[in-house]
Each structure stands twice: as structure tokens, then as C-alpha cells.
Homo-oligomer: A and B are copies of this chain.
Amino acid sequence: MRTDNFKSVIDKYKIIFFDAFGVLKNYDGIVPGVQKTFAYLQEQGQEYYIVTNDASRSPMALAESFHRIGLDVISHDRIISSGMLAKEYLDLKVNEGIVAYLGTLNSAHYIDSSGLHTLPVSAINTTNIDQVNALVLLDDEGFNWFDDINKAVNILRKRTIPAIVANTDNTYPLTGNNEVSIAIGGIASMIESIVGKRFIRFGKPDSQMFMFAYDLVREKRTVSKKEILMIGDTLHTDIIGGNKFGLDTMLVLSGNTLPDDAEMRIKSTGIVPTYICNTAVID
């Protein structure tokens, strides 16, 4: 399979959107050499944004996690996370009462919104269930699966309220040994199918993620979609989402899509990136 030269490709675009996991970092830290890419982009005056299906932390905390692995140039105002969309939804659409959540305390802090009372699913009981006006699924950790997934099912059977999924991924990779862990998106699909209701999902490949980033860009300058490149490691989120939004797309082979599988997967899914590069690193 032919791959493209990374530097030649990015030279054609004014704005670059990067996925985080599998592109900039991996289980064991930064993708080696990726700092050079950002140094080059700054030198050339090209802008960059991180567009990530991560609802476990605030953009501020996400930025810090980049700094810790040596990517100091990524500031919080360049990060668009699916958690930000979940928060915007609550700000716009839920005006009062309790927002119950599945996730860690960290993930919940972020969605706190004026006028709303954020409570873990475990704290919902007969005395307060009638005030629950939304259920938000944020993270696969921070709660007891048996108790709280079952409780979430029963909350949705009793209350006609929106259920918001802040991360559409089904799994995420565990360190090193090719093992995965079920992500909150996978749990959400099980609950959705059991209660038979329609959940609201935020995150790539949904256009709203790209639009959020596009709006950020347009606040500063006039730009056409033709001038933006989306770089990601996953066909069914980064690439099809970018394509559908009208962006050119680059698949990198440093994460979910392995070099040996890329061609077969593109063929079998019909999801075609504009470019394929080994990594998002200038060599």
C-alpha cells in the first residue's frame, strides 16, 4: 500500500485537526517525534486543534496531560472534546433539577452547570428520582458496574428524560499487551438497547464535534473547509466524520489501524481517507 509523505501533505493546509489517542500519544506516552510536527506548524503559522472523544476530564486537565508528556504547545483553548458538547447540551437544554451521571468525580466536575445539581447514579433514590432531569454517561470508571448500570436502567424506565453519551467509543486500549477495556460508549449501547429509548451521543464521527472546532477557527479568521485537514488513526470516527463534514482526511498507522490491516479495512468499510501516512511525524 502506498503511503504519503507527511510533510508534503500538511504543507497544503492552513489548519490541522488532530485526534489525540493513537496519533499524538499512546499507552506509554508521546508518539516519538510528534513535538517536531508542532514546532514546524508554529514556524509555518499553521493552526492546529485537538479533536478528541474524551469526556473524562476538562480541556484544562486534558491540556495538562499533554504538557506532562512533553507537548507544551497544546493549550486548553485548542482542545475540543466530546465532553464539551455534553456540557453545552446541559447548559442549553436542562435548566433545573438533578443531572445523574455514570463516571468519575473528575468527569462530573466538568459538566457542572449553574442551576443544575450533579449527582452520581449511586446517590439517586426514591426521595430524589423525581427531580432527575438528565442522565449523562461520562466514563467507565468511578462507579460499581453491577449496582449502578442496573440503577441507570431503572432510572430511565421511570423518568422520561434525555440520556446523554459523552464518548461514543466502545472500547479503549489498555497498556501494551493488545488488551482493551469497555468504554462508556459500549455500556451506553447496552443500556439503550435494554430500555429501548434513543440516546443522544456526542463525539466523532458526529458532525457536531467538527462543527464545534470549525466555529472556533472561524472566530479568528475566514476559512474554507478545503483548507482544513483532519488527522486520525480510526476509520469509523476520525476519517468518516471528517469526510462527511467535507474535510480532507489523513489516516495514520500509529494507533487503531495497523499497517497490515489498513488496505483491507478501507476496502471492506468503504471509508476512504484522502491520505495515508505512517505517523503524524515529520521525518
Residues of A participating in the B interface, judged by any CB pair closer than 8 Å = 88-89, 92-93, 144-146, 149-150, 153-154, 156-157, 160-163, 170-171, 178-182, 186-187, 189-190, 193-200, 206-208, 211, 225-226, 236, 240, 243-248, 266-272
> Nearest 10 A-B pairs (CB), nearest first?
A197-B270, A145-B145, A190-B190, A92-B246, A207-B208, A145-B146, A154-B179, A207-B207, A200-B244, A211-B211
Which chain B residue shows the least CB distance to A207? B208
Which chain B residue lies CB-closest to A225?
B92
- Nearest residue, chain B, Cβ from A248: B93
**Taking A189-B190, A206-B207, A245-B208 as contacts, is the C-beta distance between A268 and B196 under 8 angstroms?**
yes
Q: Across the interface, which residues of B come within 8 angstroms of A207, CB to CB?
A: 206-208, 211
Contact for A198 among B157, B187, B200, B271, CB less than 8 A: B271
Once A196-B268, A246-B92 are accepted as A-B contacts, the answer to whether A157 and B178 lie under 8 Å apart by CB is: yes
Interchain CA distance A225-B93 in the complex, whole Å: 10
Please determine whether B162 and A269 come into contact, CB atoms closer than 8 angstroms.
no
Contacts of A180 in B (CB 8 A): 153-154, 157
**Cβ contact within 8 Å between B272 and A162:** yes
Smallest Cβ-Cβ distance to A190: which chain B residue: B190
Residues of B within 8 A of A240 (CB): 198, 200
Give the residues in chain B near A246, CB-CB below 8 Å. Answer: 88-89, 92-93
Chain B residues within 8 Å of A248, by CB = 93
What B residues does A247 contact at CB under 8 A?
A: 92
Residues of B within 8 A of A225 (CB): 92
* Inter-chain contact B193/A189, CB cutoff 8 Å: yes
Query: In the assembled complex, how far is the CB of residue A136 from the closest CB belonging to chain B, in whole angstroms?
Result: 14
- Decide: A198 and B161 in contact? CB cutoff 8 A: no
How far, in Å, is A245 (CB) from chain B's closest CB? 7
Asked if A200 and B149 make an inter-chain contact with CB atoms under 8 angstroms apart, the answer reads no
User: Are A198 and B236 in contact, CB atoms less than 8 angstroms apart?
Assistant: yes
Q: How far is the CA of A61 from the CA of B168 in the complex (A)?
A: 38
Closest Cβ–Cβ distance, residue A94 to chain B (whole Å)? 11
Q: How far apart are the CA atoms of A146 and B89 in the complex, in Å?
A: 29
A93 partner residues in chain B, CB cutoff 8 A: 243, 246, 248
- Given A180-B154, A182-B153, A207-B211, residue A160 in contact with residue B270 (CB < 8 A): yes
Kindly state the separation between the CA atoms of A178 and B153 in the bound complex, as whole angstroms. 12
Q: Cβ of B161 and Cβ of A272 under 8 Å apart? A: yes
Residues of chain B with a CB closer than 8 A to A145's CB: 144-146, 149
State whether A89 touches B244 (Cβ < 8 A). yes
CA separation between A189 and B170, bound complex, in Å? 13
CB–CB A268/B182 < 8 A? no
Residues on B with C-beta less than 8 A from A243 are 93, 162, 200
Q: How far does the Cβ of A48 sit from chain B's closest Cβ, in whole Å?
A: 21
